[in-house]
Structure 1
């Protein structure tokens, strides 16, 4: 197979700046769109006359398309040329954004979101590969840092941006803002991005069509089960059971097909690289923590503290800015040869301290000032994790294997996020029920303290002009509300505790990583 030398794709000066801006813009576009719709679902529901279950498909369809296309991006880049594939993906994403804004019913919107996801999934991994190959090998840590700013800031930027657009304009504009950025990114890609020469393309008869079918059935059904499991009561629902079976068989058949077919759609053999294997596990955990915490904190502030969607979204901005500031610093540290394993260990430890701190500050009366510093610590932890994990994962790969490796890390980060949100949603509901049952058992109506509390509340309501009976009823409702709030807070405390333990348990995994040279000699990387 003919392959260009690594140095042929390295850019310098103005061209590299433009390529970097284009790739970060595209990564941001894709990731912001994953979370921007979360705060607009209610408005969509009202204007399109949809149920809550129907409108959840707006998120699910995008996620399913995303995760299906991510593992295939390296293969598609080889077939059509990386620049062409990247440019076409931006065009698909931009056109689908316009169609989403113009959708007249919920199922039209879901279909266009799926198409948008097919374009968007390609943007993430291809942008990462283009940035990686545009920098000399010694500066790849910095390249990952710049790309990482987009990936980490994106999920956090979505909710406040979506909240602002919905509050001041209307929900279609969350899609329309993609259009001018998409047009600029397409023009810059066509003008500045180069494609590596990958050798011969496959004929239609050689394409791994069965691989595509097995991959889509495995990933698609897994994503559906994760997104809808909690609301459909998991394995008590026939569709969830059926799709779980499809998922397992899809995975087994996909692995068998890719290991035996001459031209696989996903090169699983690249996972023979031990650093990439460990890196994919750590990317999964990183996705779990990143998307899980981005999901849980706005829910806590809105449901327990009664904040607006915009305020809840804005709370996460300082954390993202901290990560953004950390990225170039981490890139410089990697260039200076500071072992990345130490940074990852410190990152996992900081994330553990963030969850431990959050567990102690979340109360029914917590304010923004209580959550500010723990979230800054989260930003530092994520900064220490993202770049070193990605560079360690790809550090022993070269040539087209970098793209294949980036596809695995990207897919595992997204899947980690899906698992994180699904598991957190399930456990919040379960813990809530347990804590409520425990709290209610301590509320003995015959006890003096309870009677005193009821009496005080009743007197308070009566002083506002309510009759004795209505005041008593309101007193019991107030106690019930306190119990519900308290059980919700205890549930969030449990979630943070378990999230922290998971990150703490990841630290020993780092010792399994083989030392790669931080500044790899281009000649060595060619082997």
Structure 2
């Protein structure tokens, strides 16, 4: 039996609540897992499909961009089709898209199916939160959100580990195939438990022009960022055209959304100081974080000799401290100024990235893993307090739109961060390689000693030059990675004053708003 949009069902009880929580969490786990599981598999995917690892980052950015576009549509879609129907349909389509990703015969097809997977995944996370909150009494809402948050923190831990193990021991398509049984079980259980609790669908106008402009400028911008490094940036007519389309499309999008009666994105929210400072802080920080999350396993596998499994083990501990500390942050954020928590998080992020900027080609496993463990502390003090700041002072009816908009900006920033970090990494590596190559000449005793040693080991002159070039590549890309780690550390510290431009939140009100958004 469907209910009117404003009506509310009694919370679930007993085993029904337990199974509902498991089903919703499984769908969320599957969704979040897919944002990180491909990171350590990129070299294997790129090699198998005959493209460079940096071209392989499209596997991540295509998912993120399509996901960002669909997130703001969740509110309209849920009212048009009903929350439960939309959630279950989204899970089923996600399963189908995952199966297609595994079958992809080339990179172009894989990118198209990843974009489809990202687009249909958009409603899953916000609706899993909504349905989970409706399953619990209001007094237990904090517990419900703590369990939901644990799921979203365990998935990034499992993603690199699972992705690495599957890539090394089976084959990369199985990082997508594993979604099939999980998705079928989650969809079946969710439908069985919630289909009688669905809301009545109602026809609402959709901002088709705004949606079209959103797709155009986001797609053009991301293609410009991903293709730029391969086409010599603005020396290429294609990149110039994409840049013009992105800028003009964005300008028209702004004008249209600010004047339309039913905008697909409510840009008027940016007139609120806490919303724009919180959203900007979250997005820049997430872009920095995600760019480095993609860069580290690429460097480890391409230039440090790590397998996908080993790279996954390096990345996995990031969630350990986050899982321990997140419940503490959730319980205390209403009593402590969230700006203090965010400041602490940014300082820890800066410390972690500064530690990584000290890496060199002889860094061992434990040296590389220690900053990852510490990073979990920053993650715990990052998302919940920033969400509290961003949504504080908003009326309940505006929170879904605000949550959708801030998530859209955050996900887009993550995709931009991936493209910018890999581009800068290649550019800095080329610069360092040229500087290192200048030192390889007959006048350099160290270079001559290296060549003499290689010749004594049986290397031909050509083989010796190739070996020295490989060493120079390893050094150049390592130096480029540490340059980016150092820059990211500095940018996290620069972000701190932006957080303090927000107004203090009013105690529990801000925390309640954050819970409502989830």
TM-score by length of 2: 0.87
CA contact (8 A) 1:69 1:121 kept: yes
Distance 2:448 2:379 in 1: 49
Matched, 1:368 2:365: yes
Residue number in structure 2 paired with 1:419: 416
Residue number in structure 2 paired with 1:381: 378
CA contact (8 A) 1:137 1:520 kept: no
CA contact (8 A) 1:10 1:135 kept: yes
- Gap regions ≥5 residues in structure 2: none
1:501 alignment partner, one of 473, 476, 490: 490
Residue number in structure 2 paired with 1:461: 454
TM-score by length of 1: 0.85
Q: CA deviation at 1:191?
A: 3.9
SS across alignment from 1:264 = coil
Per-residue CA deviation, residues 91-116 of structure 1 (Å, 9 max, x unaligned), is 11112222333445555544433322
Q: CA deviation at 1:477?
A: 4.5
**1:412–1:207 CA distance, 2 compared to 1 (3 A):** closer
CA contact (8 A) 2:276 2:390 kept: yes
CA contact (8 A) 2:399 2:513 kept: no
**1:512–1:334 CA distance, 2 compared to 1 (3 A):** same
Q: RMSD across aligned C-alpha pairs, in angstroms?
A: 3.4
**1:398–1:63 CA distance, 2 compared to 1 (3 A):** same
Distance 1:489 1:108 in 2: 32
Q: How does 1:61-460 map to 2 (within 5 A)?
A: 61-103=62-104, 107-131=108-132, 145-193=146-194, 201-202=203-204, 206-334=205-333, 337-360=335-358, 362-443=359-440, 445-446=442-443, 450-451=444-445, 453-460=446-453
Distance 2:323 2:466 in 1: 46
Distance 2:329 2:501 in 1: 22
CA contact (8 A) 1:304 1:485 kept: yes
Distance 1:144 1:523 in 2: 11
Q: CA deviation at 1:248?
A: 1.6
Residue number in structure 1 paired with 2:481: 492
Distance 2:166 2:474 in 1: 30
SS across alignment from 1:512 = coil
Residue number in structure 2 paired with 1:517: 506
CA contact (8 A) 1:24 1:147 kept: yes
SS across alignment from 1:170 = coil
Give the aligned length: 511
Q: Structure 1 stretch 105-114 or stretch 214-223: which is displaced more?
A: 105-114
CA contact (8 A) 2:388 2:513 kept: no
**1:26–1:304 CA distance, 2 compared to 1 (3 A):** same
- Gap regions ≥5 residues in structure 1: none
**1:417–1:310 CA distance, 2 compared to 1 (3 A):** same
